[in-house]
Amino acid sequence: MISVDKYFPIFDKCIAQYHIKDSVGQELNNIFTEGSFEALLYHKCWIDTVQWHFEDLIREPSIDPKSGMELKRKIDKSNQHRTDMVEQIDDRFLEEFSAVKVLTNATLNTESPAWVVDRLSILALKIYHMQEQASRADASEDHKQKSEARLNILLEQKVDLTTAFEQLLEEYKSGAKTMKVYRQMKLYNDPATNPALYGKK
């Protein structure tokens, strides 16, 4: 398992690769070895990056209702894919800490490691796009200054969240915290639990 300080460079490479074509229809080209943790992080960030731009597109005020509904379906599918990837990442962490002897007074964390990874990936996207806003040639100086101030906050958050995550992983390694994962149970995606789906004749 790679150290946390290697995560952001992976996310940054992914986001930069996406913006070469800057198209939601492009195929994933994972630059890391298939099956590696790095490849998993890259894939996760790619999903987040595509969805980020889906969310931009669906907010177009003049979007055709039919196109908007098609895009909403893509966002729903992407959200499920994102959750599936989070669970795959958590499986890697569960494997990593499986041999740790948990202390009798070990505590739980409010979220699993992979959901922290999710937050880091989204944060990388926020930083990229805020940097973009801070240097926009067609924007006012006021806009650029506000974006720069927001960017500084995001960069501070990057340091804080990365540090906190490193500390959390150390607690897992030492047995001071115990890892417990609850799988996502999205009832609306399941034809057996969504009334709008199972109620149809």
Q: Are 156 and 40 in contact (CB under 8 A)?
A: no
What residues are paired with 107 via a beta bridge?
177
How many other CB atoms are there within 10 angstroms of residue 42's CB atom?
21
Per residue in 144-169, pLDDT tens? 999 999 999 999 999 999 999 999 99
Confidence (pTM): 0.92
pLDDT digits (tens, 9 = 90+) for 91-107: 999 999 999 999 999 99
